[in-house]
């Protein structure tokens, strides 16, 4: 079994790839860049490639397939960046990873608290030695109604952890969970929008929920609502978000993910002119927090992602059942 790893982070991932590839008797090599024209041939002769979120479109998959690559392993929970239709046509196996939901759940709650207490404004003023109180007053999380959209593993963990703060919790999901009864109240999206002081997103990105939060959704929300997104950038219409921030409809926004972040986040772009006008506008708002897709980032999670990537490829190559395998490896002619 041979894996070529793209976008390898030598400072944190490599030690775990060394460890687990030895355990699985797997040969691997890597480069630190995303797949692109100048390095795609490096994967020639390998059974699988591993990537972090980047554009894995049909043309890219075709190139890999022609070089003998039969498995794609993404080191992320989300896999919307991979053209699954083309992968299935080619007979390529695809797998993703999972990790403990507490990591992202607690990060989301941290962002809620930062917004409630105006922490960025407080720190910015403290940096110029303005220690006065005027304009810094926050609000208590326990006095807020929090709307949680998506109650999968991460959303459910957010709800359980939030229950300790004493806040009212509303939830929306196509498949309500009985175990959350008595902790959160499932309501319609319209009710969640209109009654929530804080709205946090924990749903995957699909065609059906593309721009779930758009101008119409923002129109239904409370004045001064706090928006938190640690899920996927495509869930929010960024231009509508900017309009709602400018009008005051949104009081704070805390975004760990952003539209058009591929090729931007996880890269050192210091000194570059970045072609992302929406990001530039958002960075200008004092009531917006942008973090570069780091909600997942703990040592335990990095270890788990490396292990599950290698095990996923191993299981696909050996036709072993694995819940993290999205599409099984098969012969194209079958």
Catalytic amino acids?
A: 232, 261, 293
Cα–chain center distance at 329: 26
Cβ-contact 317, 69 below 8 angstroms: no
Q: How many CA atoms lie within 13 A of 223 on its CB side?
A: 2
Q: How far apart are CA 160 and CA 154, in angstroms?
A: 10
For the sheet containing 93-95, what is the strand order? 27-30, 2-5, 48-51, 71-74, 93-95, 325-327
**CB neighbour list of residue 268: distance below 8 Å, 6 or more residues apart:** none
Question: Terminal CA-to-CA distance of the chain, rounded, Å?
Answer: 22
The continuous run of DSSP H or E covering 32 comes out as: none
Integer CA distances (angstroms), 59 to 134, 172, 255, in order: 56, 37, 31
Please report where in the chains the tokens 């687990």 appear, as a residue.
20
Structure letter (DSSP) for residue 38: T
Q: How far apart are CA 192 and CA 206, in angstroms?
A: 20
Structure letter (DSSP) for residue 164: G
Cβ-contact 4, 29 below 8 angstroms: yes
Integer CA distances (angstroms), 67 to 38, 44, 101, 220, 312, in order: 15, 5, 36, 51, 20
Q: How far apart are CA 77 and CA 54, in angstroms?
A: 13
Please report where in the chains the tokens 């991932």 appear, as a residue.
13
Q: Is 321 exposed, middle or buried (0-12, 13-18, 19+ CB in 10 A)?
A: exposed
């Amino acid at each position: 079994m041979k894996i070529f790893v793209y976008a390898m982070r030598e400072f944190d991932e490599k030690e775990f790839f060394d460890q687990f590839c030895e355990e699985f008797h797997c040969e691997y090599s890597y480069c630190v860049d995303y797949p692109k024209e100048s390095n795609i041939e490096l994967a020639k002769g390998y059974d699988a490639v591993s990537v972090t979120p980047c554009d894995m479109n049909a043309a890219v998959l075709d190139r890999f397939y022609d070089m003998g690559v039969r498995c794609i392993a993404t080191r992320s929970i989300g896999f919307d960046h991979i053209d699954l239709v083309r992968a299935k046509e080619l007979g390529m196996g695809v797998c993703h990873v999972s990790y403990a939901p507490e990591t992202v759940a607690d990060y989301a709650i941290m962002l809620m608290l930062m917004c409630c207490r105006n922490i960025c404004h407080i720190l910015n003023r403290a940096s110029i030695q303005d220690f006065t109180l005027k304009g810094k007053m926050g609000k208590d999380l326990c006095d807020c109604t929090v709307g949680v959209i998506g109650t999968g593993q991460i959303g459910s963990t957010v709800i359980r952890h939030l229950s300790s703060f004493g806040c009212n919790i509303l939830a929306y999901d196509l498949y309500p969970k009985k175990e959350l009864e008595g902790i959160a109240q499932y309501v319609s999206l319209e009710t969640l929008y209109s009654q929530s002081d804080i709205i946090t997103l924990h749903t995957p990105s699909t065609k059906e929920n593309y721009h779930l939060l758009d101008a119409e959704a923002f129109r239904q929300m409370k004045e001064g609502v706090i928006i938190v997104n640690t899920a996927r950038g495509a869930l929010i219409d960024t231009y509508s978000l900017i309009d709602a921030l400018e009008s005051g409809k949104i009081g704070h926004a805390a975004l760990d993910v952003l539209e058009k972040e591929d090729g931007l986040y996880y890269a050192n772009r210091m000194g570059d002119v970045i072609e992302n006008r929406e990001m530039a506008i958002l960075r200008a708002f004092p009531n917006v927090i942008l973090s570069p897709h780091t909600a997942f980032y703990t040592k335990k999670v990095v270890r788990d992602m490396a292990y599950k990537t290698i095990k996923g490829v191993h299981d696909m190559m050996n036709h072993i059942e694995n819940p993290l395998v999205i599409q099984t490896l098969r012969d194209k002619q079958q």
